[in-house]
A = this chain, B = another copy of it.
Amino acid sequence: MTSIINVNLPQQSYEIAIAPSSLEQLGQYMTDLQLGKKVLVVSNPTIFKHYGEKAIASLKSAGFEVASCSLPAGERYKNLNSIQKLYDIALENRLERSSTMVALGGGVIGDMTGFAAATWLRGINVVQVPTTLLAMVDSSIGGKTGVNHPHGKNLIGAFHQPRSVLIDPEVLKTLPMREFRAGMAEVIKYGVIWDAELFSQMEASKNLNQLRYIKPELISTILTRSCQAKADVVGKDEKEAGLRAILNYGHTIGHAVESLTGYRLVNHGEAVAIGMVAAGQIAVDLGLWQQEDTERQNALIQKAGLPTKLPDGVDIEAIIEALQLDKKVKAGKVRFILPTQIGVVTIKDDVPSEIIRKVLRGM
């Protein structure tokens, strides 16, 4: 059964296709998109071992000329050095403007492949084939691409929409448990900011922290409703002029925590979970949200096996300072996305440092 979700954009609309075993149809799928013959598949060693051969075989049998490249796994390799490697391989394989880079992997691979595609020959095609839950429901959709600066996450990047997103839920079976949970953080985020029904369905599930204990129907709901939420928001505000900022719920403090722990101790989803707990409490302290709803949120985060406390050794003042570097800073004021009820958030541009400090001390 295939679900198709459309991302409607003024310049270039595209679809997200969610279908079991669709990885084997990649070649046919890309043929339908009428892309040029040359394809560069970008992955990391682990993913490539599991799925590289299958993807390449499918592309070749559909008549594509396929090159491939494996970049080291992990957020700490999401930098310009990796992008330069992609440029070199693009050059070696004479990629043309009609050529396509296929991002076969998680968020890191998707962001880097997207950025390389955005900036090679001033922009070539990219098709996202996400293999982690986080990439499926979030990073592969919406055209945000980029790499980290040594002093800040995602500071270097571009908006570059994919030609298509192909999601094969089967590949989640090889996803490490911790990675699955990281993805659940973004799914819970959609529940809090946009989709109260999704939130309730997750509340009703006995288990949320391991793929094999979650009913297949709920996995299907999680994928389609999350992708739909992302597509809705991006379709209304592609370049983050306003609404799209709500997708950063939990990310303001989350990014600071990731950065301060060197992208090692805490992964992106865990950092977002911590950030949502903090933002929820800030919302309560500002009188915007009910304590009861924060607790429902935090219970869901815990059920998904995600952290709700700051990691040991993270300095609160360092977080406050790191917030000043956030892309969302405007005239020195930190912007926070804060819930007002389950499924609804508001944007506050002027949260006092004192409140942030107090909430972080309480965690």
Contact = CB atoms under 8 A, between A and B. Distances in A.
> Which of A37, A146, A158, A329 has the most chain B CB within a 10 Å cutoff?
A158
A94 B157 CA distance: 16
A112 to B, nearest CB: 13
A103 to B, nearest CB: 17
Interface stretch (A22-30, A116-124, A283-291): A116-124
Contacts of A87: 149, 155-156
A330 B96 contact: yes
A325 B94 contact: yes
A152 B119 contact: no
Contacts of A181: none
A156 B325 contact: no
A158 B119 contact: yes
Interface size class of A (residues with CB under 8 A): 35 or more
Given A87-B149, A149-B91, A152-B91, A98 B327 contact: no
Contact of A157 (B36, B122, B154, B329): B122
Given A119-B157, A155-B91, A159-B122, A97 B327 contact: yes
A331 interface: yes
Interface string A81-100: 00010010001001011100
A45 to B, nearest CB: 25
B91 A84 contact: no
As for how many copies of this chain the complex holds, the number is 2
A159 B123 contact: yes
Contact of A120 (B123, B155, B159): B155
A324 B94 contact: yes
Interface string A145-164: 01001011011111100000
Nearest to A98: B330
Contacts of A118: 158
Interface in A157-175: 157-159
A316 interface: no
A325 B98 CA distance: 14
Contacts of A219: none
Nearest to A152: B91
A209 to B, nearest CB: 33
25 contacts: A37-B331, A80-B80, A87-B149, A87-B155, A91-B151, A91-B152, A91-B325, A94-B324, A94-B325, A94-B329, A96-B327, A98-B331, A118-B158, A119-B119, A119-B158, A120-B156, A121-B327, A122-B144, A122-B154, A122-B157, A122-B158, A122-B159, A123-B159, A123-B239, A158-B158
